[in-house]
């Protein structure tokens, strides 16, 4: 069935380091792909999205490219900040349902 | 302010005692959904609703009920809660179901069933 697999955490980086969080998906159709972010004690917020192959979603310095050939949607940021510390969820939408990954906890230390 | 609200935010109850978690949105959204978040499992969709009086099962509907009598409200009902329903629950809504529509999440309800 449809699913999302993302990189296990937790991830700890120093400020200004490069970030990659891997995400792959399985889908019967042509899903839309999302990254959501969850700050401590809060609900999820949409970070970025891509709706078709080769689309690049970007927001707040984060980027992810929809790769149909590798069924991937890896999240990247060139220089992380302490304020980026949060849990990141990859998700896909096929039909009427959403499927989320298990989440990757990121801690950025000064 | 556009938002999704959930009540209560925290709840401790005992096995078998019926409970309802309310969800309300003020954005006139058609699509609403309930998720549970568990360590190591991420978010899993329980039920969703495409519009008033239209609901459908997600991935983990067992032990839950929902209703959508009004567009703004989508309560989650646990008729006979069990300890395996201890979890963090999120309600979400979007303007319409579709890949271009962002889901807005509520703040979460932490439920403990003893």
β-strand pairing of A32-38 with A44-50 = antiparallel
Strand partners, A14: A109
> What does the pLDDT average to over B78-97?
93
Strand partners, A24: A5, A72
Contacts with A49 from chain B: Cβ below 8 Å: 99, 102
Q: How many other CB atoms sit within 10 Å of the CB of residue A12?
A: 12
Closest CB from A4, A44, A101 relative to B105: A44
First to last CA, chain A: 41
Q: Which distant-in-sequence residues (6+ apart) come within 8 Å of B10 by Cβ?
A: B109, B110
Q: How many other CB atoms sit within 10 Å of the CB of residue B96?
A: 11
Partner-chain contact A43 B42, CB within 8 Å: no
Q: How many other CB atoms sit within 10 Å of the CB of residue B92?
A: 26
Partner-chain contact B45 A102, CB within 8 Å: no
Written as tens digits, the pLDDT of chain A (110 aa) is 788 999 888 999 999 999 999 999 998 888 999 999 999 888 899 999 999 999 999 999 999 999 999 999 999 999 999 999 999 999 998 777 889 999 999 999 99
In sequence order, what E strands does chain B have?
A: 4-7, 10-13, 19-25, 31-38, 42-51, 54-57, 65-66, 76-78, 87-94, 104-105, 109-113
Contacts with B102 from chain A: Cβ below 8 Å: 46, 49
Partner-chain contact B42 A46, CB within 8 Å: no
Partner-chain contact B92 A103, CB within 8 Å: no
How many A/B residue pairs have CB atoms within 8 Å? 54
């Amino acid at each position: 069935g449809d699913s999302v697999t993302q990189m296990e955490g937790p991830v700890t980086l120093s400020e200004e380091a490069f970030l990659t969080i891997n995400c792959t998906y399985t889908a019967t159709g042509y899903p839309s792909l999302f990254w959501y972010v969850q700050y401590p004690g809060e609900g999820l917020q949409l970070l970025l999205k891509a709706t078709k192959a080769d689309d690049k979603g970007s927001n707040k310095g984060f980027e992810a490219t929809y790769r149909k050939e590798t069924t991937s949607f890896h999240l990247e940021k060139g220089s992380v900040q302490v304020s980026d510390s949060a849990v990141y969820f990859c998700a896909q939408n096929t039909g009427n349902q959403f499927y989320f990954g298990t989440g990757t906890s990121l801690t950025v230390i000064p | 302010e556009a938002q999704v609200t959930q009540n209560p935010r925290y709840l401790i109850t005992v096995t078998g005692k019926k409970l309802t978690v309310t969800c309300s949105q003020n954005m006139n959204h058609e699509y609403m959904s309930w998720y549970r978040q568990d360590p190591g499992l991420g978010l899993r969709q329980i039920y969703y609703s495409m519009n008033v009086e239209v609901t459908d099962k997600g991935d983990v509907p067992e032990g839950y009920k929902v209703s959508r009598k009004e567009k703004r409200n989508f309560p989650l009902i646990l008729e006979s809660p069990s300890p395996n329903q201890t979890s963090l629950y999120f309600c979400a809504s979007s303007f319409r179901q579709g890949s271009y529509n962002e889901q807005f999440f509520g703040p979460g309800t932490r439920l403990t069933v003893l």
